[in-house]
Structure 1
Amino acid sequence: MTKLFATTALLTALAMPAFAVQPAEGETLAENQTYTYWLLDAIKSLDPALNTDVEGSDALRSLFEGLMTESATGEMIPGMAESHEVSDDGLTYTFTLREATWSNGDPVTADDFVFAWQRVVTPETASEYAWYIELMNVDNATAIIAGEMTPDQLGVAALDDRTLQVTLSAPTPYFLNTLSHATTYPVPRAVVEEHGQAWTQPANIVGNGAYTLASHNLGVEIVFQKNPAYWDAENVVMETVRGVTVNDTNVALTRYQAGELDRVQIPAGQFPRLSEQFPDQAVSVPQGCSYAYVLNLGETGPEALKDQRVREAMALSLNREVIVDQVLQGGQRPAYSWTHWAIDGFAAPEDGMQDMPMDQRLERARELLAEAGYGPDNPVRLQLQYNTDESHRLLAIAAQQFWRPLGIQVELNNVEWAVHTDRLQSGNFEVARYAWCADYNEASTFLDWFRTDGYNSGKWSNAEYDQLLADARTAEDTAPLYQRAEEILAEEVPAVFVYHYAKVDMINPAIKGLPRENLLNTWYAKDLYRVAE
């Protein structure tokens, strides 16, 4: 993993200077510095402790700033932390914070980070991302989440207003890479305590990011304005950022072509045509996300899915190559592992089903279903749930068609995003479309999802798998542990992996500063600018 700050024991990294956004040679800044981007669904929460969505994270990166941010190529660069020191044993990180203020003029202090992190792991907060602090190996996080210790015992402390100390339970090579994630952002204690759950309303919210929240019409649009109190405001060019919700990608594309949007996802199957017609606008780059059909193996799940043979038959018979080559057509890759193929240092297991010809896979799938007592005359009956989006619908239809001849009859159930995520969390589904996007560039960001006490919506559990992930936290060489973990996923099939993402967009050529070499595709509005057309 690439790290900007030195991690040699007790070596203080020099504060990096701010880099002003500059137009390239021959470019002229437009008078109107506004960026309007597409959102598929409503942003559920603007609370860093409660957000779980990619769209929400995009918004939070404008409103708040963590210890680290990312460069256009995904390298970690200073955010609120000017520098840091690491102890000899790799367990203690001491960060020196830059002088900065909240949007209301109050100083940002180390205590704001302490309060925010403790709030995430406090059981009463009910943060779905509490496990992220645990994944970072912050000391005592596991016990606090379990209710065995109090939040004030978390391994984070304010030594003074500008010095934050983090104590880890084990040396964690990827620790710095976790610090640009929204879950780790500071929040203003006084504002949260004054307004409670209403603190993220436009009239109340206070942030330390490059933008403030001008308005938020849930499910319609969200608007950000440049924050004059941001520590590096003089180098922020884009004045206004708007996110517009459009549930239909084809309608969104029409609005892009009408000049109403500056960036929009290309609908499934349309990238070849659009890239030929608009080579300066159609873009496809690898994106660190994986798409899967999660199988409910918990108490609320269907009996048929408890049989591993049924799950394996579903995985074998899904023709991923047809999905990426004929349905999506945007540079995606078939997924035979949960971890995205481009994750730093990851090597997928070999000799899996990806090496079997499709006819052999189908033959084996029929054999497995027959052994389990199923077939065309006695079909497995399942419901596949997906959230509103044309691509999800097309993929669900394809899966339905692949499985039907084998005796797996799938009823499709389309619901809105908020309903979809609530049902996943409560276990109210049988098979559900899901995607996971990397929180940092290391395989554990994917594999930890399937831990028994991980996000793991399907409630699959495997003791060997859990131990492999626990061992990987302190292992010098994680590769064989991660490979074995992926082998277990392939053997037990808690989900049917479908494809690895590519970011397939139409982007207005006038918008500059969007990253194309960052696998996580995390973008920062403060780095954007619009050139005159």
Structure 2
Amino acid sequence: MTDSNSLSRRRFLQATGGAASAVALAGCTDGGDGGSTDETTADDGGQETSEPSDGGNENYLQYINSTVTTFDPVASTDEASANVISNIHQTLVHYPRGEPQTEALLAADYSVSEDGLTYTFTLNEATFHNGDAVTADDLVYSWERLAASENTRRSSFLLDVLGVEHETETTTNGDGEEVETYAPGTLAIEPVSETEVEVTLSQPFASALGMIAYNAFAVHPENIVGDVPGYEGTMEYTEFATSNPVGCGPYELENWEQGTSVDITAFDDYYGEGPVNDGVHWQIIEDPDAQWTYTMEKNADAFGIPTSKYDPSLVSVEETDDQGRELGTYGPVRNDSTLNYSGISELVTYYIGFNMAAVPKPVRQAFAYAVNRDVIINEVFKQRGESAFHLTPPAIYPGGANAYNEHVESEYPYGVNESQLDEARRVMEEAGYGPDNRYELQWTQYQSSTWESMANILRDQLASAYIDMQIESAPFATLTQRGRQGNLEVYTLGWGADYPAPDNFLQLLNPEETITGGDTAPISYLNWTEENGSAAQEATEAWQTILNNKAPTDEAAEARAEAAVTMEEANWEDIGFINLYHPKGESFWYDWIDYQPPGAMGAANVMEKDIELTGSRE
């Protein structure tokens, strides 16, 4: 990683215990209580279930969201914020409605050089919310902020993952060590004309357009804030990030009451089609009981259902579309309505993570032997997903779902969908633990009754293997802050695809980027080193192979695939993550809305401009 603010990921998922829900609680893909994704804070705001506060405009879409933290694309690390940002700001390309194929957005056209290094983008004739025309200089400035802003959390996406050519300089970190960091103003991004720009990569990258679709790459007006060298800024950063986030998207911010609600209103000069509605209102509700009451009082048009309120027997699937979405109905529910339903296997993995420097390997092995994913998914998460043994989801695993399952059946060392408590006790006893020498550790999770039910099952099982586990719930922002500081022992989180390729997931297993407590923000909190993992070097070398073979060629793809399997097996050997389940993203909506459910990439970073209210709310 190249700067102290990088957090190389799109969706650092709150492990709340269930399945993603289209527009509901878009702060962390619902782990089970209706959920949201990424870094968010959770407070007591927005728990009321009264009528939406959109000023009475009946043509506003009514949704639920988790706690929003910022409207600055380069600073956002949570899906609650991303759901709003993607409607205010625009990227060059995007994943339409979360389907895993990119399409041009702010770019009217683009081309790639024969060597795969230079991308030339021609911009649409678009206008920012402040009336300024969008130009190539705005793109240069926006990506410079992504690389060098003191507020960026995503610089590695640009500098390391996408690999835009740039220069580095030697600086001294907080420990007095010399490190190489990005040299501001050296990005290989050149305006060709007012509306054309060339971007040069250090090497070809098969998923370049997919990475650019992430909303940190959104374009905002040149010099809007002065948080990078060479730009003084025309407004204070706080104004841009919280009350006046000038973009060129189909909506502009109308109102944000932190912890309570967000309203955006249609932008009249949007360059594309729509919006077909007047705006969107998100009610901020964290508590699953309050979410359910809110939806049953018909205050939300489309939403997710908390796992605690979910009944799989009420799902009736009538067809499956070409994107793999199961379409049908759900109900009748508590208010006697039968809801429209969509479900799709998302590119998401939830996991148990260990601070490997703090938790000995025998304890990690005991956890792995104790976990029975079938029980967890069927009894706790109510069949809203499938067992996860790899970090990489089946749809993008090398060779596909069949290869995924074959590798698990033949190689997974801790039992497939069974709990092996005898083996858990054996490894603990061999390490010197027993009835008179028990191991104590702290389990930290996001606040969720569903996920806590799963933790209780594990706690009770592990007690027979001489492990005493204390369960603690914490707001998501607190959990991730503790993780970055190295103050977690075992924790629960998840990851959703920034772009649909294994390397996007496997970066979490790159040992170099798992070290906590330093100047650089780790991607995961494993602290995986050769001192605590015999396979750490193997994982490091495999990750380097992936980085050295990013090109869109068959030879490079084969090398990446082999290295991906190596990294998955290295994780099995040292047990940094215990992968638990890949959730099904489920959406529910009333008949009065012409809703378009998201695809496998999930509900984050999709626009609501084409969603139409077709009838009156009952």
**If the TM-score is normalised by the length of the shorter chain, which range does it land in?**
0.7 to 0.9
The residue aligned with 2:364 is 311
Q: Is the 8 A contact 2:166 2:183 kept in 1?
A: no
Q: Secondary structure at the match of 1:281?
A: strand
Task: Between 288-297 and 353-362, report the one with greater CA deviation.
Answer: 353-362
Give the alignment partner of residue 234 of structure 2, picking from 186, 190, 194: 194
* CA offsets 1:414-469 (integer angstroms, 9 cap, x no match): 11222222222222221121111111111111111222225122222423323322
Matches of 2:140 and 2:582, distance apart in 1: 36
* Pair 340,377 (structure 1): closer, same or farther in 2 beyond 3 Å: farther
Matches of 1:283 and 1:379, distance apart in 2: 46
* CA offsets 1:231-255 (integer angstroms, 9 cap, x no match): 12x5320211112111111220111
What does residue range 314-329 of structure 1 map to in structure 2 within 5 Å? 314-329=367-382
Is 1:219 matched up with 2:252? no
Matches of 1:509 and 1:374, distance apart in 2: 59
Q: Which consecutive unaligned segments of at least 5 residues does structure 1 have?
A: 1-30
The residue identity in structure 2 corresponding to 1:467 is E
* Pair 161,285 (structure 1): closer, same or farther in 2 beyond 3 Å: same
State the Cα distance separating 1:71 from its structure 2 match: 2.6
Q: Is the 8 A contact 2:349 2:582 kept in 1?
A: yes
Q: Is the 8 A contact 1:214 1:225 kept in 2?
A: yes
The residue aligned with 2:190 is 157
* CA offsets 1:48-69 (integer angstroms, 9 cap, x no match): 1111112222111101110002
Q: Secondary structure at the match of 2:459?
A: helix
Q: Is the 8 A contact 2:421 2:461 kept in 1?
A: no
The residue aligned with 1:121 is 147
The residue identity in structure 2 corresponding to 1:470 is Q
The residue aligned with 2:423 is 364
Q: Is the 8 A contact 1:315 1:497 kept in 2?
A: no
Query: Structure 2 length as normaliser, TM-score?
Result: 0.75
Q: Which consecutive unaligned segments of at least 5 residues does structure 2 have?
A: 1-56, 172-178, 226-232, 316-329, 333-337, 514-521, 530-535, 550-555
Give the alignment partner of residue 136 of structure 1, picking from 151, 158, 162: 162
Give the alignment partner of residue 394 of structure 2, picking from 338, 341, 352: 341
The residue aligned with 1:47 is 72
* CA offsets 1:41-96 (integer angstroms, 9 cap, x no match): 31122211111112222111101110002234332111111111211211111111
Report which of the two has the higher share of helix: 1
State the Cα distance separating 1:166 from its structure 2 match: 1.2
Give the alignment partner of residue 116 of structure 2, picking from 77, 83, 90: 90
Give the alignment partner of residue 515 of structure 1, picking from 570, 590, 597: 597
* CA offsets 1:207-249 (integer angstroms, 9 cap, x no match): 11111111111111111111112112x5320211112111111
State the Cα distance separating 1:142 from its structure 2 match: 7.7
Query: Structure 1 length as normaliser, TM-score?
Result: 0.86
The residue aligned with 1:443 is 502
Matches of 2:587 and 2:452, distance apart in 1: 19
Is 1:391 matched up with 2:459? no
* Pair 148,256 (structure 1): closer, same or farther in 2 beyond 3 Å: closer
Q: Secondary structure at the match of 1:292?
A: strand
Matches of 2:378 and 2:393, distance apart in 1: 18
Q: Taking every aligned residue pair, what percent have the same amino acid on both sides?
A: 24
Q: Is the 8 A contact 1:313 1:368 kept in 2?
A: yes
> RMSD across aligned C-alpha pairs, in angstroms?
2.4
Matches of 2:314 and 2:222, distance apart in 1: 48
Q: Secondary structure at the match of 2:84?
A: helix
State the Cα distance separating 1:381 from its structure 2 match: 0.9
The residue identity in structure 2 corresponding to 1:476 is A
Q: Secondary structure at the match of 1:52?
A: coil
Give the alignment partner of residue 557 of structure 2, picking from 469, 476, 480: 476
Matches of 1:335 and 1:430, distance apart in 2: 21
The residue identity in structure 2 corresponding to 1:517 is G
The residue aligned with 1:489 is 571
Task: Between 458-467 and 421-430, report the one with greater CA deviation.
Answer: 458-467
Matches of 1:169 and 1:207, distance apart in 2: 29
* Pair 48,203 (structure 1): closer, same or farther in 2 beyond 3 Å: closer
Give the alignment partner of residue 182 of structure 1, picking from 194, 207, 215: 215
Q: Secondary structure at the match of 2:396?
A: coil
The residue identity in structure 1 corresponding to 2:544 is A
Matches of 1:357 and 1:470, distance apart in 2: 30
The residue aligned with 1:423 is 482
Q: Secondary structure at the match of 1:489?
A: helix
Alignment length (residue pairs): 494
Q: Is the 8 A contact 2:593 2:615 kept in 1?
A: no
